[in-house]
Amino acid sequence: MVDVETIEFEASDGWKLVGDVYRGPSPKRAILISAGTGFPRRFYKRAANYLAEQGAIVLTYDYREIGDSTSGDISKSQVQYTDWGRYDLNAAVEELDKVSDGLPIMHVAHSVGGHFIGVATNHTKIKKHANIAVGVGYWGAHKMLYWPLEMFFWWIMGTFSLARWNYIKSIGGWRGAPLPKNVFTTWRRWSSKSSYFKDELNDFMQPQHYDEVIAPFKSWVFTDDPIATVKATKSLMEVYPNASSEISICHPQDIGVNTIGHDGAFRVGRDALWQQWWDWFVLEE
C-alpha cells in the first residue's frame, strides 16, 4: 500500500513549489523524479507509485511555472530554463532528504530533467542517476523524419505564440504545459547549436558544477524515440566528464509494448521498464 501526500516546499529564492510524496512499505531508497519540459508532476504518478511499492519514498514535483508551481501571469514571467535546476531541483533534493530521513537518494530524470544536475549545488547528495530519454535538443542529433516538426515548433508556432501572448501556449501541436518566454527562447537557441549548451558553461550557465558530478549515470534510450537518440544521449553526457555512464538500448517489444517514444516510458503498462530502474538503484556497486 502506497500513501500519497501533496506537499509545498520553498526554493532558496523563495519560490513556492508543489510536489507529491509517495511512501511505500519499508522504504530503503529515496527517489526523485525530475520532469521533462512541459510535463506536470502527475504525469509521473504511475512510475512513482510502482517504485514506491518496491520499497521507496518517491518525490515528484512541478518546476516553477509548471503545473501547481505557477506564479500567476506567465506572460510576465522572468523564469529562466536553468532555474529549474539551480533552484527547483536543488530544493527538491533537500526536501526529499528531509522527508526520507536520510535514505540514499536516487534520481529518475526525464528529458530535460537530466540536463541541469550540474547547476544544483547539492548534486553530491544523489547517489545514482537514471536518465530516461535524455539527450541534447540539437535538431541535428535527432531523427531526420522529426526535423520538419521541430522547425515548425521553433520558428513558426513558437514565434507566433510569443508575438501573440508572450509565452508558449498549448497550441499548434504543443501538448505540454504553457512555457515562459525565457524557457522557450533558451531551449530554441540551444537546439539550433551542435554544441548545445557546452559552449555556454563559462557564461550563461554560471555558476555551474558539471565537472564535479561523479555519481554514475545509466541512460535508457528507446529505438522509437526521435529525440533522445544514442547520438543525442552521448552528446549530452559530455557535459558530465567525470561521471561514469552507460547506455541501455530498449526496443518497445523488449518490455511487451508497441511504442515508447520520447514520453511513453512513464505511461501505463511500462512496469517491466520501471523494474529495470529499481533493480539498478538497489544494485550495490
DSSP string, the chain: --EEEEEEEE-TTS-EEEEEEEE-SS--EEEEEEPPTT--GGGGHHHHHHHHHHHEEEEEEPPTTSTT---S-GGG----TTHIIIIIIHHHHHHHHHHTTTPPEEEEEEGGGGTSGGG-TTGGGEEEEEEES-----GGGS-GGGHHHHHIIIIIIHHHHHHHHSEE-S-TT--S--EEHHHHHHHHHHHT-TTTTGGGTTTTT-S--GGG--S-EEEEEETT-SSS-HHHHHHHHTT-TTS-EEEEEE-GGGGT-S--TTTGGGSTT-HHHHHHHHHHHH---
Burial class (CB in 10 A: 0-12, 13-18, 19+), 209: middle
Q: What structural domains and CATH numbers belong to the chain? A: 3-138+206-282 (3.40.50.1820)
Whole-number pLDDT of residue 72: 87
Residue 234 near residue 11 (C-beta atoms within 8 A): no
The pLDDT of residue 284:
75
pLDDT at 157 over 60: yes
Question: pLDDT band at 285, cuts 50/70/90?
Answer: low
116-154 pLDDT, tens digit each: 999 999 999 999 999 999 999 999 999 999 999 999 999
76-97 per-position pLDDT tens digit: 999 999 999 999 999 999 999 9
Residues in contact with 262: Cβ distance below 8 Å, sequence separation at least 6, in sequence order = 36, 111, 133, 222, 225, 226, 227, 228
pLDDT tens column, 35-88? 999 999 999 999 999 999 999 999 999 999 999 999 889 999 999 999 999 999
Residues 6+ apart with CB under 8 A from 73: none
What is the torsional sign of CA 24, 282, 251, 247? positive
Mean pLDDT across the chain, nearest whole number? 97
Show the cell assigned to 78. 522572468
Residue 242: per-residue pLDDT: 98
The pLDDT value given to residue 173: 82
191's CB contacts (< 8 A; 6+ apart) are 137, 138, 139, 150, 154
Angle at 245 between CA 137 and CA 254, to 5 degrees: 80
**pTM (2 d.p.):** 0.97
Q: Kindly tell me if the per-residue pLDDT of 190 is higher than 60.
A: yes
